[in-house]
Amino acid sequence: MAMERQFCTFHLDDLFLGIEVLKVQEVIRTQEMTRVPLAPRAVRGLINLRGQIVTAVDLRERLGLAPLAEGRHPMNVVVRTDEGAVSLLVDEIGDVLDTDEDTYEGPPETLSAQARELIRGVYKLPERLLLILDTEKALALEFAEAGR
């Protein structure tokens, strides 16, 4: 168990979230997106990342938050997965933070059920709470609405 871990942080609505820095491939600005009909709601579209086609998943949708206000452009946090890169759309990108394992705790009860599914735990930072996103679960999309 590593005592200190680094997290790439970002904002979603008033949530402050983090992903392990080693999982993040890169962070890029809003990209031109090709929407995908019949796809699960959370899939915002496909982006061209230097010749690689990357699926962009809307984290707001995944966490049950309201869509981003008109006129605001989300950032892409491109994460590595076993099946290639996937982009997570977030409101704003934060710093890379070192955390202390002692301040770690399981997800608080107060989180909405939908969010709690995807939050692995919480680091109690001095000023605020850093929620750790379970990227695998965040990217495991249901296909109920996209069936054949």
Partner 1 sequence: MSDMDDIVKEFLVESSEGLDQLDRNLVALEQAPGDKALLASIFRCIHTIKGTSGFLGFGKLESVTHVGESLLSDLRDGKKVLTPEITSALLQLVDAVRSMLSAVEANGTDGDKEFPELVALLTRLQKGEAAPAPAGKAEGAAPAKKGRKSGPTAVVAEPAAPVPQAVIPPPAPAVVAPAPVAEVPSAVAQAEAAEVKGPQASDSNIRVDVGLLDKLMNLVGELVLARNQILQYTATQEDSGFVATTQRLNLITTELQEGVMKTRMQPIGNVWAKFPRVVRDLALACKKQVRIEMEGKETELDKTIIEAIKDPLTHIVRNSVDHGLELPAERVAKGKPAEGRLLLRAYHEGGQVNIEISDDGGGINTERVKAKAIQKGVITAEQAARMGERELVNLVFAPGFSTAEQVSNISGRGVGMDVVKTNIEKIGGTVDIHSVAGQGTTLKIRIPLTLAIIPALIVSAGEDRFAIPQVSLLELVRLEGEEAQKGIEMVYGAPVYRLRGRLLPLVNLAHALRRQDGFWSPTRAPDEAVNIVVLQADDHAFGLVVQEINDTEEIVVKPLGKQLKGIGAFAGATIMGDGRVALILDVSGLAQQAAVFSERSRRAQGAAEATTRAQAADENRQMLLLFRLGADRRMAIPLSMVARLEEFTRGSIEHAGHHQVVQYRGRLLPLLRLSELLGDAGAAEERETLSVVVYAHEGRDVGLVVENITDIVEEALTVHRRSRGGAVFGSAVIQGKVTDLLDVRALIDGNDVLLFTGAESELATAGV
Contacts with partner 1 by CB under 8 A lie at 32-43, 45-48, 51-55, 57, 81, 83-84, 86, 139, 141, 143, 145-148
Which is closer to partner 1, CB of 47 or CB of 133? 47
Rounded Cα distance, 94 and 5, in Å: 16
Handedness of CA 99, 100, 101, 103 (dihedral sign): negative
Smallest distance from partner 1 to CB 46, Å: 4
- Strands of 119-124's sheet in order across: 92-100, 4-12, 15-20, 129-133, 119-124, 104-105
10 vs 1, 20, 106, 143, CA distance in Å?
24, 12, 19, 27
Smallest distance from partner 1 to CB 85, Å: 8
Six-digit token pair at 138?
């965040």
Smallest distance from partner 1 to CB 92, Å: 23
Which is closer to partner 1, CB of 102 or CB of 143? 143
Which is closer to partner 1, CB of 41 or CB of 72? 41
Smallest distance from partner 1 to CB 93, Å: 22
